[in-house]
Amino acid sequence: GDSVTQMEGPVTLSEEAFLTINCTYTATGYPSLFWYVQYPGEGLQLLLKATKADDKGSNKGFEATYRKETTSFHLEKGSVQVSDSAVYFCALNAGGTSYGKLTFGQGTILTVHP
Protein backbone atom coordinates (compact mmCIF):
# COMPACT_ATOMS: atom_id res chain seq x y z
CA GLY A 1 0.00 0.00 0.00
CA ASP A 2 0.87 3.67 -0.04
CA SER A 3 3.26 4.98 2.59
CA VAL A 4 5.23 8.09 3.55
CA THR A 5 8.47 8.12 5.52
CA GLN A 6 9.87 11.25 7.14
CA MET A 7 13.24 11.83 8.72
CA GLU A 8 13.47 11.10 12.41
CA GLY A 9 13.07 14.08 14.69
CA PRO A 10 13.07 16.17 16.65
CA VAL A 11 15.05 18.79 14.76
CA THR A 12 16.53 21.69 16.73
CA LEU A 13 18.00 24.70 14.92
CA SER A 14 19.15 28.21 15.67
CA GLU A 15 17.35 31.14 14.06
CA GLU A 16 18.46 31.83 10.46
CA ALA A 17 19.79 28.28 9.99
CA PHE A 18 19.00 26.23 6.88
CA LEU A 19 16.27 23.60 7.22
CA THR A 20 15.83 20.30 5.42
CA ILE A 21 13.23 17.72 6.40
CA ASN A 22 13.44 14.60 4.28
CA CYS A 23 10.36 12.82 2.96
CA THR A 24 10.17 9.76 0.73
CA TYR A 25 7.08 7.94 -0.45
CA THR A 26 5.84 4.67 -1.88
CA ALA A 27 2.77 4.75 -4.09
CA THR A 28 1.31 3.17 -7.16
CA GLY A 29 0.32 5.53 -9.91
CA TYR A 30 0.94 9.26 -9.76
CA PRO A 31 0.26 10.71 -6.33
CA SER A 32 -0.02 14.35 -5.33
CA LEU A 33 2.30 15.37 -2.50
CA PHE A 34 1.73 17.77 0.37
CA TRP A 35 3.41 19.32 3.37
CA TYR A 36 1.19 20.24 6.32
CA VAL A 37 2.22 22.16 9.43
CA GLN A 38 0.74 21.87 12.92
CA TYR A 39 1.33 24.66 15.43
CA PRO A 40 0.87 23.88 19.14
CA GLY A 41 -2.75 23.30 20.10
CA GLU A 42 -4.01 23.62 16.55
CA GLY A 43 -5.08 21.45 13.66
CA LEU A 44 -2.99 20.87 10.55
CA GLN A 45 -2.70 23.56 7.88
CA LEU A 46 -1.61 23.08 4.29
CA LEU A 47 1.88 24.52 3.80
CA LEU A 48 2.51 23.60 0.15
CA LYS A 49 1.73 20.99 -2.47
CA ALA A 50 2.89 19.56 -5.80
CA THR A 51 0.70 17.55 -8.11
CA LYS A 52 3.11 16.15 -10.69
CA ALA A 53 6.75 15.24 -11.18
CA ASP A 54 9.24 18.16 -11.14
CA ASP A 55 6.64 20.55 -9.73
CA LYS A 56 7.94 22.83 -6.99
CA GLY A 57 5.58 23.86 -4.22
CA SER A 58 6.42 26.98 -2.21
CA ASN A 59 4.91 29.07 0.56
CA LYS A 60 6.20 31.33 3.36
CA GLY A 61 9.82 30.73 2.30
CA PHE A 62 9.42 26.93 2.35
CA GLU A 63 9.98 24.89 -0.81
CA ALA A 64 9.71 21.26 -1.87
CA THR A 65 10.23 19.64 -5.28
CA TYR A 66 8.41 16.51 -6.42
CA ARG A 67 11.17 14.09 -7.49
CA LYS A 68 9.68 11.03 -9.12
CA GLU A 69 13.04 9.40 -9.82
CA THR A 70 13.95 9.37 -6.12
CA THR A 71 10.33 9.24 -4.85
CA SER A 72 11.08 12.20 -2.60
CA PHE A 73 9.53 15.51 -1.55
CA HIS A 74 12.03 17.11 0.83
CA LEU A 75 11.05 20.33 2.62
CA GLU A 76 13.59 23.17 2.70
CA LYS A 77 13.82 26.70 4.03
CA GLY A 78 16.85 28.92 3.72
CA SER A 79 16.52 30.81 7.01
CA VAL A 80 14.22 29.57 9.76
CA GLN A 81 12.56 31.76 12.37
CA VAL A 82 11.41 31.01 15.91
CA SER A 83 7.84 31.21 14.61
CA ASP A 84 8.52 28.19 12.37
CA SER A 85 8.64 25.94 15.42
CA ALA A 86 5.92 23.35 14.79
CA VAL A 87 5.32 19.78 13.67
CA TYR A 88 5.66 19.16 9.93
CA PHE A 89 3.87 16.34 8.12
CA CYS A 90 4.53 15.03 4.65
CA ALA A 91 1.50 13.42 2.99
CA LEU A 92 0.35 11.93 -0.28
CA ASN A 93 -2.94 11.62 -2.11
CA ALA A 94 -2.94 8.57 -4.33
CA GLY A 95 -5.47 10.08 -6.73
CA GLY A 96 -7.90 8.01 -8.74
CA THR A 97 -10.69 6.86 -6.44
CA SER A 98 -8.90 7.89 -3.27
CA TYR A 99 -11.59 10.56 -2.59
CA GLY A 100 -9.04 13.02 -1.31
CA LYS A 101 -7.79 10.70 1.43
CA LEU A 102 -4.29 11.50 2.62
CA THR A 103 -1.59 9.12 3.82
CA PHE A 104 0.67 10.89 6.33
CA GLY A 105 4.23 10.47 7.47
CA GLN A 106 4.92 10.28 11.19
CA GLY A 107 5.65 14.00 11.56
CA THR A 108 8.85 15.88 12.39
CA ILE A 109 9.03 18.22 15.35
CA LEU A 110 11.00 21.41 14.60
CA THR A 111 12.21 23.69 17.37
CA VAL A 112 13.96 26.95 16.47
CA HIS A 113 15.91 28.79 19.17
CA PRO A 114 16.67 32.54 19.09
Partner 1 sequence: NAGVTQTPKFRVLKTGQSMTLLCAQDMNHEYMYWYRQDPGMGLRLIHYSVGEGTTAKGEVPDGYNVSRLKKQNFLLGLESAAPSQTSVYFCASSREADNSPLHFGNGTRLTVT
Footprint of partner 1 (CB under 8 A): 4, 32, 34, 36, 41-46, 49, 51, 89, 93, 95-96, 98-102, 104-107
The nearest distance, CB 16 to partner 1, in angstroms, is: 29
The nearest distance, CB 53 to partner 1, in angstroms, is: 14
Nearer to partner 1, 63 or 104 (CB): 104
3-state secondary structure the chain: CCEEEECCCCEEEECCCCEEECEEEECCCCCEEEEEEECCCCCEEEEEEECCCCCEEEECCEEEECECCCCECCEEECCCCHHHCEEEEEEEECCCCCCCCCEECCCEEEEEEC
The answer to whether the beta carbons of residues 85 and 18 sit under 8 Å apart is no
Nearer to partner 1, 10 or 78 (CB): 10
The nearest distance, CB 110 to partner 1, in angstroms, is: 15
Nearer to partner 1, 11 or 104 (CB): 104
Nearer to partner 1, 61 or 96 (CB): 96
The answer to whether the beta carbons of residues 80 and 19 sit under 8 Å apart is yes
The nearest distance, CB 21 to partner 1, in angstroms, is: 13
